[in-house]
C-alpha cells in the first residue's frame, strides 16, 4: 500500500490489482467516499482541502492506465515507462516543491479489463489518468468511468477520431494527433512515395482500425485513387490466411495494414508464407514495433509505415532521460506519454487541488501558447510557477502540445518509417501536418 511521501520523493506505482481493496489505506488516496477528491479534499491525507491555487504543501496524484499485457503489451510497457518517467525526473529535481503519488493499472488491451482497472484508480481517488493506449479501451474507460466520475483523461496513444466527439464534459485530452490526420498522411505516402492508384485496407476490428481505414479511404479517393477492398480482422487469431486472400483478391497497388503487434506477427507470417513479398505494404503506429521482423522471421523490406513522431522542443532531453532510466531507446508514443503526464501534473499544480473538474479547467491554460515556457527539463520549476499562478506554456517532448477545444492537438509531425534488418526502426522522412 502507499506510504506518506517526503517532499520530492515519488511513490513507485503499484499495479492496481495489488491495490484493489486497499484504497482506504492509501496516504494520498480517497477521502472515505470512494470518489475522486471532488469534495474539496486535496488528496494529501490531511483532508484540509487547501485548493487555493498557491499551496505546494500537498501531493499531486496521477493514475496511469496502460496495456502491460495483451495484444499491445510489446508497445504498452514502453509507453507506460514514458508515462511514469516524469516522476523519476521530478524525484531528482530540486525545483519541484511537491510530493508525488502515482499508480499504474494494466488494461490488458481489453475494454472490460480497462474499465475494471480504471474503477480501481477511481476508488483510490486519483483525479487524473494518463491513458489508455488502445482507442477502444480508452473510449470504454472514458464513457464508463472517467467522465461519469469527473476524472481527467489524457491519452498518449489513442488516435481514433471517435474520441473527438465524445460527450466528455471537457475532461478528455490526448497528446497524439487524431487519425483524421494520419489517414491524410497515409494517403499522401501511398500516392506520392509508393506511386499507388489502387489500394486495399486490412484493419483490426475496433474503433482504431475501422476509423483509420475509413480516414485513409476517404483521403485516398478524394485524391483520385481507388480503394478496392476493406477487410476487418479479429485480434489473436491462429491464422489470417483467409483474410489476406480476401483483401488481396483484386491485386491492389498497395495494402494498408492497421493492427497491433501480437496479431501482426501471425498476420505477416501468413503473408510471407503465401505471397512473394513484393507488394508494397503500409502499416500504422500500432505496428511500429522494432522486434516485428525478427518475430515474423522476415526482413519485411516491402513494409513501411507512418506514425506520430516525437518532434517537440524537449525531445533530446526526454530521449536522454529515457535512456538513462530504462537503458533502452524510446519508442512510439513514449514521448507523448511523458507529455500527457507532465501536462496533467502542471494542471493539477495550477488547480490547487486533486479535483478532476479543477484540473480539466487548467489543461489548456498550462499547455497552449502564452506565458513562460516550461519544457521537460524545467518541469519542476514549471510546477512551482503553476502553483503560484504564473501563466505558463508547456512545450513538450513530442510536440508543442497545443490543444484545440476538443482536447485534440492542432498540429503534428509524422514519421515515414521502415524496419531495419536485424531490428530497429529507420526514419525515411518527417512529414509536417496540421
Q: What is the pLDDT of residue 433?
A: 78
Say if residues 248 and 190 touch (Cβ distance below 8 Å): no
Residue at 33 is within a domain: no
Q: What is the pLDDT of residues 232-274, one digit of tens each?
A: 999 999 999 999 999 999 999 999 999 999 999 999 999 999 9
**Average pLDDT over the chain, rounded to an integer:** 89
- Please report whether residue 71 resides in a domain: yes
Q: pLDDT band for 423, please (50, 70, 90 cuts).
A: confident
Distance, in Å, from the CA atom of 61 to the CA atom of 81, rounded to the nearest integer, reads: 17
Please name the residue that has the C-alpha cell 491485386.
251
> Are residues 237 and 375 part of one domain?
no
In percent, the amount of the chain with pLDDT more than 90 equals 83
The 10 Å Cβ neighbour count of residue 188 is 18
In a domain, 11, yes or no: no
- Please tell me the least confidently modeled range out of 201-210, 309-318, 325-334, 422-431: 422-431
Q: What is the mean pLDDT of residues 339-357?
A: 98
Q: Are residues 427 and 302 in the same domain?
A: yes
| Contact assessment for residue 258 and residue 230, using Cβ atoms and an 8 Å cutoff | no
pLDDT at 30: 34
CATH assignment at residue 91: 3.40.50.2300
Task: Count CB atoms within 10 A of the CB of residue 413.
Answer: 17
| 301 shares a domain with 184 | yes
Q: Which residue has the cell 498518449?
A: 156
Q: What is the DSSP letter of 403?
A: B
* Domain-located, residue 36: no
**122 and 201 housed in the same domain:** no
Q: Does residue 48 belong to any structural domain of this protein? A: no
Residues 195, 270 within the same domain: yes
- In angstroms, the CA 111 to CA 260 distance is 15
Same domain, 288 and 226: yes
Please indicate, yes or no, if residue 202 is contained in any of the structural domains.
yes
Burial label for 95, CB within 10 Å (0-12, 13-18, 19+), is: middle
Assess contact for 397 and 376: CB atoms under 8 A: yes
Q: Which three cell numbers stand for residue 179?
A: 487519425
What pLDDT, on the 0 to 100 scale, is given for residue 24?
27
pLDDT value at residue 412 = 86
Alpha carbons 397 and 321: distance in angstroms, whole number: 11
Question: How does pLDDT run across 37-90, given as a tens digit for each residue?
Answer: 333 334 443 333 334 446 789 999 999 999 999 999 999 999 999 999 999 999
- Whether 3 is in a domain gets the answer no
264 and 334 housed in the same domain: no
Kindly write down the DSSP assignment for every residue of 248-303, as one continuous string. Answer: TTT--SEEEEE--HHHHHHHHHHHHHHS-S-S-EEE-GGG--TTHHHHHTS--TTE
Domain ranges, residue 294: 178-307+412-431
- Strand order, beta sheet including 10-11: 10-11, 99-106, 59-66, 128-130, 152-155, 172-174
pTM of the model: 0.81
For 281-325, write each residue's pLDDT tens digit: 999 999 999 999 999 999 999 999 999 988 999 999 999 999 999
Residues 150 and 83 in one domain: yes
Can you read off the three cell numbers belonging to residue 201? Answer: 485496407
* Residues 194, 254 within the same domain: yes
Same domain (yes/no): 131, 99:
yes
pLDDT of 29 over the 50 cut: no
Q: Are residues 371 and 313 in the same domain?
A: yes
Total domains in the chain come to: 2
- Is 101 a residue whose pLDDT tops 90? yes
pLDDT at position 54 is: 60
pLDDT digits (tens, 9 = 90+) for 107-137: 999 999 999 999 999 999 999 999 999 999 9
318 in the same domain as 215? no
> Which cell numbers in the block locate residue 193?
512515395
In a domain, 283, yes or no: yes
Amino acid at each position: 500500500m502507499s506510504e506518506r511521501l517526503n517532499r520530492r520523493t515519488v511513490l513507485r506505482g503499484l499495479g492496481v490489482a495489488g491495490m484493489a481493496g486497499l484504497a482506504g489505506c492509501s496516504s494520498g488516496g480517497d477521502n472515505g467516499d470512494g470518489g475522486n477528491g471532488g469534495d474539496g479534499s486535496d488528496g494529501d491525507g490531511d483532508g484540509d482541502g487547501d485548493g487555493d491555487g498557491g499551496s505546494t504543501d500537498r501531493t499531486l496524484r496521477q493514475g496511469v492506465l496502460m496495456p502491460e499485457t495483451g495484444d499491445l503489451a510489446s508497445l504498452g510497457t514502453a509507453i507506460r515507462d514514458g508515462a511514469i518517467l516524469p516522476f523519476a525526473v521530478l524525484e531528482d529535481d530540486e525545483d519541484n516543491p511537491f510530493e508525488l503519488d502515482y499508480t499504474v493499472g494494466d488494461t490488458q488491451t481489453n475494454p472490460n479489463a480497462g474499465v475494471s482497472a480504471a474503477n480501481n484508480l477511481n476508488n483510490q481517488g486519483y483525479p487524473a489518468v494518463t491513458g489508455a493506449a488502445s482507442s477502444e479501451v480508452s473510449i470504454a474507460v472514458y464513457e464508463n468511468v472517467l467522465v461519469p466520475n469527473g476524472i481527467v483523461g489524457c491519452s498518449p496513444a489513442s488516435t481514433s477520431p471517435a474520441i473527438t466527439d465524445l460527450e466528455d464534459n471537457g475532461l478528455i485530452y490526448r497528446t497524439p494527433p487524431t487519425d483524421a490526420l494520419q489517414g491524410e498522411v497515409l494517403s499522401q505516402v501511398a500516392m506520392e512515395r509508393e506511386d499507388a492508384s489502387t489500394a486495399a485496407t486490412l484493419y483490426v476490428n475496433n474503433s482504431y482500425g475501422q476509423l483509420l481505414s475509413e480516414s485513409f479511404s476517404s483521403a485516398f479517393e478524394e485524391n483520385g485513387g481507388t480503394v478496392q477492398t476493406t477487410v476487418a480482422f479479429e485480434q489473436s487469431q491462429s491464422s489470417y490466411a483467409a483474410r489476406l486472400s480476401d483483401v488481396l483478391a483484386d491485386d491492389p497497388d498497395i495494402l494498408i495494414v492497421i493492427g497491433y503487434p501480437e496479431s501482426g506477427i501471425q498476420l505477416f507470417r501468413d503473408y510471407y508464407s503465401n505471397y512473394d513479398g513484393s507488394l508494397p505494404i503500409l502499416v500504422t503506429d500500432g505496428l511500429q514495433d522494432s522486434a516485428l521482423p525478427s518475430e515474423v522471421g522476415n526482413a519485411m523490406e516491402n513494409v513501411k509505415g507512418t506514425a506520430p513522431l516525437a518532434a517537440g522542443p524537449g525531445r533530446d532531453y526526454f530521449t536522454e532521460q529515457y535512456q538513462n532510466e530504462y537503458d533502452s531507446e524510446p519508442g512510439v508514443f513514449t514521448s507523448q506519454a511523458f507529455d500527457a503526464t507532465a501536462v496533467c501534473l502542471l494542471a493539477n499544480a495550477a488547480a490547487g487541488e486533486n479535483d478532476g473538474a479543477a484540473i480539466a479547467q487548467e489543461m489548456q491554460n498550462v499547455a497552449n501558447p502564452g506565458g513562460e515556457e516550461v519544457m521537460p527539463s524545467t518541469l519542476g520549476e514549471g510546477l512551482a510557477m503553476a502553483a503560484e499562478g504564473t501563466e505558463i506554456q508547456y512545450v513538450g517532448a513530442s510536440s508543442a502540445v497545443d490543444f484545440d477545444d476538443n482536447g485534440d492537438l492542432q498540429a503534428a509531425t509524422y514519421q515515414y518509417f521502415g524496419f531495419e534488418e536485424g531490428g530497429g526502426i529507420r526514419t525515411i522522412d518527417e512529414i509536417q501536418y496540421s
